[in-house]
Homo-oligomer: A and B are copies of this chain.
Amino acid sequence: MMSVPLYEAKAELFRLLGHPVRIRVLELLQDGPRPVRQLLAAIEVEPTGLSQHLAVLRRSGLVTAQREGSTVVYALAGGRVAGLLRAARELLTEKLTGQNELLDELLQDSTGSGTS
């Protein structure tokens, strides 16, 4: 039953995360479960678009949905999602910091650690 190589699964996971609206949803859900209405208010996207992105996240098992009366409440499925987002943030921070340092070097041209 090894149907899907792990690297395919990993690529698919990343592909699923590769959309701004889906990232925002996951970030909002990090602070706890939220009804669709609330996500909608926070995210600047049409209801239909949000539904579609939520469907993607649901199908992939990254979030869970629960109907509560007339609204539907979404929540993160498992704590590891937050860890992944944190890792991404750290990488981006490192990258941006690095760029700024490089920029500073180029502009100021007075660093002790010279390139040989």
Contacts and interface: CB of A to CB of B under 8 A. Distances in A.
A22 B18 contact: no
Contacts of A17: 11, 14, 18
A98 B78 contact: yes
Interface residues of A, number: 37
Contacts of A81: 91
A45 to B, nearest CB: 12
Contacts of A91: 13, 78, 80-81, 83-84
B7 A24 contact: yes
A92 B20 contact: no
Nearest to A90: B80
7 contacts: A7-B23, A7-B24, A10-B89, A13-B91, A83-B87, A84-B84, A84-B88
Interface of A: 5-20, 22-24, 27, 61, 78, 80-81, 83-92, 94-95, 98
